[in-house]
Structures are given as C-alpha cells and as structure tokens.
Amino acid sequence: MDFGFSQEQEELREHLRSHLSKVCPPEYAEACDRDGTPPREAYNALAEQGWLGIIVPKEYGGSEQNAIELAILLEEAGRHFEELGVWLFRTITYGGYAVMAHGTKAQKEYFLPKVAKGELSFCFGLTEPESGSDAAALKTRARPDGNENYILNGQKVFTSGMDISDYCLLVARTNDGEKKQQGITNFLVDTTLDGIDIRKIDTLGHRAIGTTQVFYEDVQVPATAVLGTVDEGWAAADAYLWYERLCLSAARTGAALAAFDCALEYAKSRNQFGRPIGKFQAISHKLADMKMMLDISRTMVYRFAWLVSEGRATREDAAVLKLYSSETYKAVSDMGLQIFGGYGYCMEYPMQRFFRDSRLSVIGAGTSEIQRNIIARSLGL
C-alpha cells in the first residue's frame, strides 16, 4: 500500500498553497465572514488558473485529474477558508461530476467548458421543509406541459449558495411510485427564471455564502434541462451525495487543520503561571488528541478518494468518512476554543469562526445520526 503522494501531486499542492496564501489570506477570510460577502475574488482567481476544471475531461477544457487531486484542492482551499472550498465543491460536483456522469452530449458540450473556465457556478436543491433526513419524501413537483417544457412548483430549504449560483441541480418529483424513491427526476435549473423566489436564511455560521429557502411558482424549464432519465433520478442524486461527502470531508478536514494550527500556535505563545500553557498536560493532551483525530481524518479522506478513483467506493464508505471527519472538525474546534479560553469567545480571534462553522458539519449533508444508520444497515442491523 502506498500512503504517499506522487511528485506531481506534491507540486500541485505546493503551487495551490502558494496561490491561496495570496488570494485568500486570513484577513480576507475574516472579512468575508464578518461582512457576509462570498469569497468571489478568491473563487475567480482559482477559476482563472483552471482549478474548477480539475475533474473535467480535457476535451471540454479541463485537466482531467482524479478524486485524489480533487481532495488535495479542497483540503487546501478549506484550510484557507472553508466556505471557499465549499463553493468550489458545489460547482465541481453539481456542474461537473453530475453532468459528466449523466448529461447528454449537448449538456456536456454546453456546461462542462463553462464549468472548467469558472463561467458558471452551481448549487443543489434537495432538502424541503418536510423532507430533510428523509430526503426522498420530497414534494416539489415538475409536470410536463405538453409543449416540451416542465412546470416546477414547490419549496426547497437549505439550498446553499442559490443566490450566487447560475444553475441549481434541482431534485423534483415527476411521478408517484410504490416507493418514495421512484418518480424522481433531476433538473438543471437556471436560477434567473421567472417564478423563482430566493430568500436568505440567517445562520449561526457559514456567513459568507450561507444558505437560502427557495420558492418555485409555475417555473417553466425546457425538457432539455432534465439531467439523466425521467422518473429514475434518485439513484443519481444519491451518487452525487457520495461525491459530496468526499468533497465536504476534504474541505472540512482542511478547516479543522487550520483550527488546530491556530490552537497550537496559541498554546505555544500564551503564558500563564510563568510558562506557555502548552506545557501543561491539560492543554498538551487536548492537542495530542486533536492531532490524532486529524491524522485519522486525513487518511480516511484520501483512502475514500482512492476508492472513488478506482470505482470501488460504497455508500457505507461515504457514511464512515462523513461521520468521522465531521465529528473530528466539531471536536477539534471545540477543544481549540477551550484552549483559547475567554479569547476564543471573542469575535476578534478566528477560533470562534471555526467553532460556529464546524457545528454545521454534523448536521448538513446528512446528520451524524443518519450516517450511523447507514453504517448500521451495512452491518445487517
């Protein structure tokens, strides 16, 4: 087994790290969070260098890298600013991976070059007020109008980034079947269409991009907006969620590493009782635990990325990764804030942002409880 990166991958990481230090320094991330503004300048700077085309085939203008290189990109982006990594992953996953997997020739020719150039950004519309963890119970409807169009009606909630995206990969019901997973279809919806009402939700963390609720009232989309097969979209949406869990886990592991670095530096420089607080076992053991969890989390991220690149990943693998990396981010941020003490509770220090943002990791994109259910079912329980 090879646990190392190739020379090309190491060079990719170093180049990316150097570029991010210029376009997304700590004070920039802090300002985006404080002011509630998306990291558009950093996003565009990465797009200009072709990073959004990392998994896109070369014939469509991408660099055709595999899931390991993608994880490197998102870990480094998350280490500089989690919300930048999350914005990147949404476009790469829902505008790139999804279209590559299930798009028509015409859809690939239209969307993929624009994704690779950073000309289009994407979000994902799945969750509804009455279908969160029970995601397949969605009620948003898409009905054919008999004139090669579909009419959308319904409400989505927690469609993160809808207000800054050009397209939403929308999951809607087109039919009723014996099982709730039947009769579901995916659509690539232009977010500027008439009848779409986007409302921002005020949240504890992730303030730079945040999330929205979206109302669809008689929204007309062409039949060419269907991604994949009509009425058989649930399996595809589930596959996108596997990929999402790789991407989120990489970005959040990067953010957790940044939180750890912040806490470690503070423990070495903050003096109490005549010596650095890191010299006290109560602090040093916290940092040792954080280091252990982060090493495991990073190993799991790249193991899963390798499984994805080999076509061997399973739903259970995705659940294990998502569960552990999310709980690690939350725990590391919590312990980091404790190490900072009262200063960790002050808004002028970055630890409070890690603490706020990390809380979403065990809720969004599948709660920790749901991940445990998936794992338990894989054990025959």
Question: Looking at residue 3, what is its pLDDT?
Answer: 80
Radius of gyration of the chain (CA): 21
pLDDT tens digits for range 77-111:
999 999 999 999 999 999 999 999 999 999 999 99
| Catalytic residue list | 244
Question: Looking at residue 243, what is its pLDDT?
Answer: 92
b vs e for 269-286, b when ≥16 Cβ sit within 10 Å of the residue's Cβ? eeeeeeebbbeeeebeeb
The residue range of the domain holding 289 is 235-378
Q: Is the residue at 88 inside a domain?
A: yes
Q: How many domains does the chain have?
A: 3
Does residue 294 share a domain with residue 210? Answer: no
The per-residue DSSP string of 184-233 comes to EEEEEEETTSTTEEEEEE--SS-TTT-EEEEEEEEEEEEGGGEES-TTB-
Kindly report the length of the chain. Answer: 381
pLDDT tens digits for range 19-60:
999 999 999 999 999 999 999 999 999 999 999 999 999 999
Q: Is the residue at 46 inside a domain?
A: yes
Tokens coding 48: 């200009």
Residue 235 has pLDDT above 90, yes or no: yes
pLDDT tens digits for range 252-302:
999 999 999 999 999 999 999 999 999 999 999 999 999 999 999 999 999
Tokens coding 298: 């990073």
What backbone phi and psi angles, to 5 degrees, belong to 361? -60, -30
Does residue 114 share a domain with residue 46? Answer: yes
Q: pLDDT band at 354, cuts 50/70/90?
A: very high
- What distance in Å separates the CA atoms of residue 95 and residue 91, rounded to the nearest whole number? 5
Q: Percent of the chain scored above 90 by pLDDT?
A: 97
Query: Cα–chain-centroid distance for residue 39?
Result: 15
**∠ at Cα 224 (238, 121), nearest 5°?**
60
Does residue 211 share a domain with residue 277? Answer: no
Average pLDDT over residues 63-75: 96
What's the pTM value of the predicted model, to 2 decimals?
Answer: 0.95
Q: Is the residue at 2 inside a domain?
A: no
Q: Is the residue at 296 inside a domain?
A: yes
Tokens coding 360: 């979403």
Q: pLDDT band at 146, cuts 50/70/90?
A: confident
Q: Is the residue at 1 inside a domain?
A: no
Q: Which of 205, 234, 263 is the last residue of a domain?
A: 234
Residue 1 has pLDDT above 80, yes or no: no
- Mean predicted lDDT score pLDDT of the chain: 96
Does residue 14 share a domain with residue 115? Answer: yes
Does residue 301 share a domain with residue 188? Answer: no
Does residue 21 share a domain with residue 60? Answer: yes
Question: Looking at residue 123, what is its pLDDT?
Answer: 97
Long-range contacts of 10-14 (CB under 8 A, 24+ apart): 12/69, 12/72, 13/72, 13/76
Question: Looking at residue 2, what is its pLDDT?
Answer: 75
Q: Which of 69, 99, 120 is the last residue of a domain?
A: 120
